[in-house]
Amino acid sequence: MTAPGFDVVVPTLGRPSLHALLDRLATALGPAPAQILLIDDRRCPDSALLPHGVPPALRARVRILRGAGAGPAAARNVGWRASSAPFVAFLDDDVVPDPAWLAQLADDIAALGPRDAGSQGRIHVPWPAHRPPTDWERNVRGLETAHWATADMVYRRPALDRVGGFDERFPRAYREDADLALRVMAAGYALRRGRRGVTHPVRPADRWVSVRLQAGNADDVLMRLRHGRDWRARAGVPRGRRRRHLAITIAGGVAVAAALTGRRRLAVAGALAWLAGTAELAWARIAPGPRTPDEIATMIATSAVLPAAAAYHYARGWIASLRGHWARPASSRPRPRAVLLDRDGTLVVDVPYNGNPDRVRPVPRAREALDRLRRAGIALAVVSNQSGVARGVLRLEQVHAVNQRVEEILGPLGLWFVCPHGPDDGCGCRKPAPGLVVQAAAALGVSPAECAVIGDTGADVDAARAAGARAVLVPTPVTRREEVAAAPEVATDIVAAVELLLGRAA
């Protein structure tokens, strides 16, 4: 069986290891990728990405694209959206593929069934031969048992399109790949493990790396909001020591507060509890070895501050969620050719089952947002559920009258697509089904992938994603929190949604 074509996407910070990766791809056995897309994600590049040039065998295949310096999720989105192959293989820039990696990748792709969205390669992290590994080396070796790590992961491009790719609200590594895999599987796909493999050497790190990694605790909050309390079990992520870290931090806080208020016994008890917890953490990290003086000093110093760092970032994640700060950064996707808008709650204030044109009130700045789209030459259409017709509380004539009033206030909105069915009618047009989006795209002469949907509910988002369109959620006070957490892109109001789609200069 001949496998379909594939592209390789590598986000990179220009590390020297990138040359070793390209050298191996140039000599690996098997069919060559159509393209190798290198995403230069350095924030302030001051030198060539590849000082020694591209290996001659790859010069016709390598493309270098600029990232936004916003982390691996955003960089990978730049890469796969620039890809044209039916499969996209993701590699980290510090791995070395096995000599037969290309042939094995082709075999892994050919073995996928019609509902298999992708395949994970096997990651080998070499350990030192003559001593026990350090705490940092053990941390990196966790990649060997990680599920769906994009250090070596291939996805069907249509599956990436369907779920919107990587969530750019994850600015760091380790959670963006688990989030993508859970969303892909929630969409009805399966993921497999392949035969191919890469080696992931342990790069040098300073003694405070374990403390910096605690910033990922903020990402865990978003994972819980998006995927529920059991996300770790479903993503194959170990629970870790967060509860112990929180207990140690609370004990330290009690000791400090009690000392400041003159409560000596409580201060001593809190300090002893903090010291015991810190000592246990340090020993748990020291005991496996190598127990050199430098490693012991590093473990003692970092264990003293690591629990507080973990607690701080975990709290920061929850505070960000409560303040609604989980909106995505500006996307790197190209401008849509058409924007499809929900009516109630998005263009006009939601009045349930409204059949009275006199009750139509636009949402703030709706006209401004629409005028920006019109100036940009973007085609418009409205996609609206109107189940009041099926329930017998509205007539289609009333719906049309309200729609006409909306256009009198906000200007021409192009074509209107209305679903008059109820939630139990089993139609294919009622959002979250994709029917309205597909109909609108066909009538406008564009593909759903060239459309963006702006709405205020999870049904709007799901309809867009089911059709392969882009989705931007503009929450209202009645939008459910889990809908906000699950949305691929979130904007604070309709103008911000348009800025996200067109760029702030629009």
Q: Rounded CA gap, 357 and 338, in Å? A: 27
Q: Rounded CA gap, 254 and 305, in Å? A: 16
Is the CB of residue 79 less than 8 Å from the CB of residue 11?
Answer: yes
Q: Alpha carbon of 106 to those of 7, 111, 462: distances in Å?
A: 11, 9, 32
Q: Alpha carbon of 61 to those of 352, 363, 487: distances in Å?
A: 55, 49, 35
b/e map of 226-258 (b: 16 or more CB within 10 Å)?
bbeeebbeebebeeebeeebbbbbbbbebbeeb
- 167 as an active site residue: the answer is no
b/e map of 206-221 (b: 16 or more CB within 10 Å)?
eeeebbebbbbbbbbb
Q: Rounded to two decimals, what is the model's pTM? A: 0.69
Q: Rounded CA gap, 34 and 211, in Å? A: 40
Which pLDDT score is estimated for 173? 87
Q: CATH for 338-502, among 1.20.1440.230, 3.40.50.1000, 3.30.1050.10, 3.40.50.620?
A: 3.40.50.1000
- 358 as an active site residue: the answer is no
Query: What average pLDDT does range 175-200 have in this prediction?
Result: 94
Which pLDDT score is estimated for 65? 87
Confidence of residue 148 (pLDDT cuts 50, 70, 90): very high
Which regions of the chain carry the CATH code 3.90.550.10? 6-204
Confidence of residue 220 (pLDDT cuts 50, 70, 90): very high
Confidence of residue 66 (pLDDT cuts 50, 70, 90): confident
Q: Please, what is the Cα angle at 465 between 459 and 471, to 5 degrees?
A: 75
Q: Alpha carbon of 351 to those of 133, 202, 362, 363: distances in Å?
A: 63, 58, 11, 12
Q: Alpha carbon of 159 to those of 76, 276, 281, 449: distances in Å?
A: 15, 49, 42, 12
pLDDT digits (tens, 9 = 90+) for 251-302: 999 999 999 999 999 999 999 999 999 999 999 999 998 999 999 999 999 9
Which pLDDT score is estimated for 506? 43
Q: Rounded CA gap, 144 and 319, in Å? A: 33
- Lowest mean per-residue pLDDT among 20-29, 81-90, 376-385: 81-90
Q: Rounded CA gap, 381 and 339, in Å? A: 7
Which pLDDT score is estimated for 325? 57
Query: What average pLDDT does range 56-73 have in this prediction?
Result: 89
Helix (H/G/I), strand (E/B), else coil: 199:
strand
Confidence of residue 190 (pLDDT cuts 50, 70, 90): very high
Is the CB of residue 143 less than 8 Å from the CB of residue 69?
Answer: no
DSSP state string for 383-405:
EEE-THHHHTS--HHHHHHHHHH
Torsion (CA) 255, 259, 262, 263 in degrees, nearest 10: 20
Length of the chain: 506
Confidence of residue 505 (pLDDT cuts 50, 70, 90): very low
Helix (H/G/I), strand (E/B), else coil: 207:
coil
Which pLDDT score is estimated for 12? 94
pLDDT digits (tens, 9 = 90+) for 450-477: 899 999 999 999 999 888 888 999 999 9
pLDDT more than 70, % of the chain = 96
Confidence of residue 485 (pLDDT cuts 50, 70, 90): confident
Look-up of token digits 């000082």: 51
Q: Alpha carbon of 193 to those of 32, 109, 118: distances in Å?
A: 21, 11, 8
Query: What average pLDDT does range 178-203 have in this prediction?
Result: 94
Is the CB of residue 235 less than 8 Å from the CB of residue 177?
Answer: no
Catalytic residue among 92, 220, 342, 456: 342
Phi, psi of 47 (to 5 degrees): -155, 170
Torsion (CA) 230, 235, 240, 242 in degrees, nearest 10: -50
Task: Give the pair of three-digit tokens for residue 45.
Answer: 């590049």
Q: Rounded CA gap, 114 and 468, in Å? A: 17
Residues 6+ apart with CB under 8 A from 174: 216, 219
Decide the pairing of beta strands 116-124 and 96-97: unpaired
Query: What average pLDDT does range 340-350 have in this prediction?
Result: 97
Which pLDDT score is estimated for 330? 45
The domain defined by 6-204 carries CATH number 3.90.550.10? yes
The answer to whether residue 345 scores a pLDDT higher than 70 is yes
Q: Rounded CA gap, 500 and 487, in Å? A: 14
pLDDT digits (tens, 9 = 90+) for 406-447: 999 999 999 999 999 999 898 999 999 999 999 999 999 998
Is the CB of residue 88 less than 8 Å from the CB of residue 150?
Answer: no
Which regions of the chain carry the CATH code 3.40.50.1000? 338-502
Amino acid letter, residue 34: A
Catalytic residue among 41, 179, 344, 460: 344
Q: Rounded CA gap, 443 and 384, in Å? A: 16
Give the residue among 416, 394, 408 at the shortest CA–CA distance from 341. 416
Q: Rounded CA gap, 11 and 307, in Å? A: 31
Q: Rounded CA gap, 419 and 437, in Å? A: 11
Which pLDDT score is estimated for 1? 43
Query: What average pLDDT does range 200-219 have in this prediction?
Result: 94
